[in-house]
Structure 1
Amino acid sequence: MKTIYFPEHITSIACSDFDETYFAHQHSHPEDVKALESFIAQYAHKGLLFGIVSASTKEMIESCLNHGPNEIYPHFISTNSGTEIFYFDDEQWRRDEVYHTKFVNNYDKSLILNIEHVLKSKNIDLITQMPFINAPFTRNYYYKMINKETDAKNFDIIRKLAEQHHFCVNISMCNPLIGDPKNHYDIDFYPQIAGKHAVVRYLMDKFGIPQSETFAFGDSGNDIKMLRAVNYGYLVNNATPEAKKLYPNITENTYNKGITEVLTAHFKG
C-alpha cells in the first residue's frame, strides 16, 4: 500500500462507512476505486482529511484493503463502532491514545455480558459475532427474525437494558452481501460516548475543522447518526431500503463512485 500525504493544515474532513460504501464486496470496480483515491491524494494537499468510520475491526478492514483493488490506505480508520481511531502516518498505524483513554477510564465490557445474560433469561437469544470477540469496548451479535410483533417487543427490551447500563445499541437488518446471514439483524452494543457520529465530532474538535467543511457517507441504518452529524451527509445509491426510508440525501452513483460524485461537486464546483 502507498502512503498518502497527511495534510499539515486540515481544512475539511470526509468520513465513510466501510462495508458496501467505500468497499464494494460483490461489485468491485477498480476504476472507481482509483478515481476516488486519486481525488483524495490530490485534495489531501489542499487540506482534505479522509477516513473510514466503521463497526468492523481494524483487522477486517486491513484484510479487505490489502486484497482489494485499493492502492492507498486512508488517513485514518475508526473501528469497533467508533471506540478506536488509528492514523496512518510514517508507514504505520498509530492509535489515538487520548481517544482510547476515554473508554479505558469509563467503560467495562463485562457490563455487556451482563446484558446478554439478562436477555437470555427472557428467552431473547443473541448469537455472538466471533470476529468481534476481542473488541475492547463493544459486543456484536446476530438476532434471528421471529415475527414483526415479537421482534419489536424484544428490541424494546434490548434498548432499555442497554440504556440502563450506559450503552447504546444499534439494531439494523443484516446485509448478506458482506457475509451476514439472511433473515437476521445486527445487534451492536457500544458505549454511549462512542458511535460513528462521536468520531466525527471528536476529529472536528481535534483538528479544528469547521462544520461547513464536513462530509460523511454510508449505506445502512447504523450510519444515519454520522450523516446527520456533518454538513454534507449522503447515503450511497446502493444503500439498504431501510436506510433510504430514514434519510433523504442519496447519491446518484453507488459505492465509492457516489463519494467521488459528492466531493467533486463540492471542491471543483
Structure 2
Amino acid sequence: MLISNEGGRLMKPMYFPENINWLVCSDFDETFFAHDLSNAEDVKELDDYIALHAKDSNILFGIVSASTIEMIKHCLDIGHFNYYPHFISSNSGTELRYYIDGKEIYDKDYEQELLKRGFSKTTILDVETQLKSEGIPLKIQEPFINAPFSRNYYYKESIPEVDAANFERIRQLASENHLVVNISKCNPLIGDPADHYDVDFFPDSAGKGAIVKYLIRKFKVPAAQTIAFGDSGNDIKMLNAVKHGYLVSNATPEAKKLYPHVAEHTYSKGILTMLTHIIK
C-alpha cells in the first residue's frame, strides 16, 4: 500500500518491525532534510538503507522535529524521499504519529500523558504576557499558533549582556510554570530571520528528549541500541537521551559548542555513515 503525500506523489511505507532492536531518531530541518535539495543521491542511499535494515536489523526510524506535521509532510513531498518514516514527532516532541501499512496512527497514549499533568496552553500565554510587561517582547511564529501543546517565538538579538539577562528571566519563568523552554540561534537556511533566536515553550513532560525516552519505554528498546541525529541547539536533549548521539557536520556553531560528537559528513550522508558504523 502506498501513502499519497501532498501534491499527489506516492511514497512507500517501510516495514514496521514487530520486535524492535534499534531506535533511530533524527531531527528534520537541516539534518534529515536539506532545504537546498542538493543531496538527492545521498537521500536515496539513506532511504534504501533504512528500508532494508528496518526488516533485517529491526530498526525503528523516525523524525523528531520542532516543525508542524504539515511542514514536515510538505518537505517530504518536495524532497527526494521514496519511503515514509515509521513515525513523526512534531511540534517539539508534543505530538506523535506512526505510519504502519500506509496508515497514519496518532498516539493518543502519549497525548494523555501530557493531559494528565494538567497542562494548559494558557500557561504559556501568561508567561508571554508577563515577559512583555517586563520589556522582553517575543514574536509569535505564525505556523505554530494552533499547536495544542507548544508555542514558538522569535527573539531579536540585542546587546549580549541584555540577551543573557533576558534568557535567564525567560528560563526562570518557564521553570516556575512547569514549562521547558528551548532557546537557540535561528538558522536562516530554513527560512528563519537572521539575528534572531528561536524561543520554544512546551510542558516539562514533553520535548525532543522526552519523546525519545517515551519511545524507548514503549517499544522496550535496549538503551545501548538507541541513536539520534541533530543540527542545532534544540536537539541537544534528544542527543543526550540516547547512547549514540551525533550532530551532522553542517550543524550550527552554537550546537557544536554544546555537544562534542559530530559526524564526518553533512545531512543524509552524515547519518548513513554513522549508522553503518554503529549497526553491525
TM-score range for the pair, normalised by the shorter chain length: over 0.9
Question: Residue in 1 aligned with 2:16?
Answer: 6
Equivalent in the alignment of 2:212: 200
State the distance in 2 between where 1:143 and 1:265 align.
39
CA shift digits 1:89-125 (9 cap, x unpaired): 1212111110011122321001100001001101111
Number of corresponding residues: 268
Asked whether 1:209 is paired with 2:221, we answer yes
User: Residue 35 of structure 1 is aligned with which of 26, 45, 64?
Assistant: 45
Equivalent residues of 2:37, 2:79 under 8 A apart: no
Inter-partner Cα distance in structure 2 for 1:26 and 1:67: 11
Query: TM-score, with normalisation over the residues of structure 2?
Result: 0.94
The match for 2:7 is none
Return the offset for 1:142.
Answer: 0.2
User: What SS does the aligned partner of 1:2 have?
Assistant: strand
TM-score (norm 1): 0.98
Once the two structures are TM-superposed, the CA of residue 27 in structure 1 deviates from its matched residue by 4.8
Identify the residue that residue 21 of structure 1 maps to in structure 2.
31
Corresponding residue for 1:60? Answer: 71
Q: What's the counterpart of residue 102 of structure 1?
A: 113
Structure 1 residue 128, shift from structure 2 partner: 0.3
1:199 and 1:103 mapped to 2: Cα distance? 11
Q: Let me know the Cα RMSD of the aligned residues.
A: 0.8
The runs of 5 or more residues in structure 1 that have no matched partner are none
Tell me which residue corresponds to 2:125.
Answer: 113
Q: Deviations over 1:9-35 (max 9, x none)?
A: 111110000000000002521100001
Q: Secondary structure at the match of 1:21?
A: coil
Tell whether the 8 Å contact from 2:121 to 2:148 is kept in structure 1 after alignment. yes
Quote the offset at 1:232 in angstroms: 0.4
SS in 1 for 2:279: helix
Deviation string 1:9-63 (CA, Å, 9 cap, x unpaired) is 1111100000000000025211000011111011100210000001111111001
Write the distance in 1 (CA, Å) between the matches of 2:38 and 2:179.
Answer: 35
Structure 2 counterparts to residues 122-137 of structure 1, below 5 A: 122-137=134-149
1:72 to 2:75 alignment: no
Residue 256 (str. 1) matches residue 268 (str. 2): yes
Report the Cα distance in structure 1 between the residues aligned to 2:210 and 2:273, rounded to whole angstroms. 25
% same residue: 58
In structure 2, what residue type is equivalent to 1:40? Answer: I
Q: Supply the distance in 2 between the matched residues of 1:36 and 1:94 (Cα, whole angstroms).
A: 24
Structure 1 CA distance for aligned equivalents of residues 268 and 115 of structure 2: 34
Give the C-alpha shift of residue 267 in structure 1.
2.2
DSSP-derived class of the 2:184 partner: strand
Structure 2: stretches of 5+ with no match in the other structure: 1-10
Superposed CA deviations along residues 162-197 of structure 1, whole A, max 9, x for unmatched, are 111100100000000000000000000011001111
Displacement of 1:68:
1.1
* Partner Cα separation in structure 1 for residue 217 and residue 272 of structure 2: 25
- Asked whether 1:246 is paired with 2:253, we answer no
- Name the residue aligned to 2:8: none
2:28 touches 2:64 (CA, 8 Å); kept in 1? yes
